[in-house]
Each structure stands twice: as structure tokens, then as C-alpha cells.
Amino acid sequence: MDAEPYLNALKDWVEKGDKSSYVMSEDHLREKFAAQDPNIGQAAAEFGLGEQLYKSGHQAEAIPHFKEAQRLNPKSWNYKRQAYALSSEKDYGTTFRDEVQKTGGSKVYYPPPELPGEKKPN
């Protein structure tokens, strides 16, 4: 991912504050943060429980919670990466590397930020 558009937007925002063309309108912000899919919150709870079990020395009990978090929110690369790092390939039948390869080997796991164009700072 080309970082230049994001860095330019950030510099513009730092320089101009709320006058920057990159600042989201209140309506757009409300739209972006509208009610989430309840599975997202449930996935976070499952993953948190899995982490706590793992940290408490209960790795075998943590695995089902990591798997449930991934099922509830399959787009979360954070859940995949962390779960695979805390367990073995036999627990999942795959590795983080294998999962990345399935997507074409890209290191871009999430869509890029929405920017109103590639403006250069003044």
C-alpha cells in the first residue's frame, strides 16, 4: 500500500485542523460508526476469553474460543495472526502464512482508508 496519500492527509489535518478537507463530516462519521454487526462484539469477547485462558495456562481450553472468534469475525486478521501464534498448526490445520498465501500473498489485510483524493499538502 502506498503510504503517501495517507501521510499527505495526516499532514494536511495537522496543519489545518478541522478546516482540512480530509476531516470527515459529522454525518459521514456517524454513518461509518453506525451499529455494528453483533457478531463483531461477540467475537471480541470470545477472543478475549481465549487470551485470558491462554495466559492462565489453559491453552487447550483457549483454542475453541479463538476458533469461535474467527468464525464470528472471519475478516479479522488480528484474530487469525494471534491465534496461530499462540497455538500449533495441528490446532487449525493451517498457518497464518498459509492463510495469507490463500489471499494472493498480499500484506494488505484491510482495505485502505477512504481519502477524498491524493492531495498534496500546501
Q: What is the mean pLDDT of the chain?
A: 84
pTM score of the predicted model:
0.63
Confidence category of residue 120, pLDDT binned at 50, 70, 90: very low
Confidence category of residue 41, pLDDT binned at 50, 70, 90: very high
Residue 108 has pLDDT above 90, yes or no: no
Q: Residue 12 contacts by C-beta under 8 Å, 6 or more apart in sequence?
A: 20, 21, 22, 119, 121, 122
Q: Residue 76 contacts by C-beta under 8 Å, 6 or more apart in sequence?
A: 43, 69, 70
**pLDDT of the residue at 16:** 94
**pLDDT of the residue at 117:** 56
**pLDDT of the residue at 73:** 92
Confidence category of residue 110, pLDDT binned at 50, 70, 90: low
Q: How many CA atoms are closer than 13 Å to the CA of 26, on its beta-carbon side?
A: 0
User: Which residue type does 102 have?
Assistant: K
Question: How open is the CA angle 69-100-45, to the nearest 5 degrees?
Answer: 10
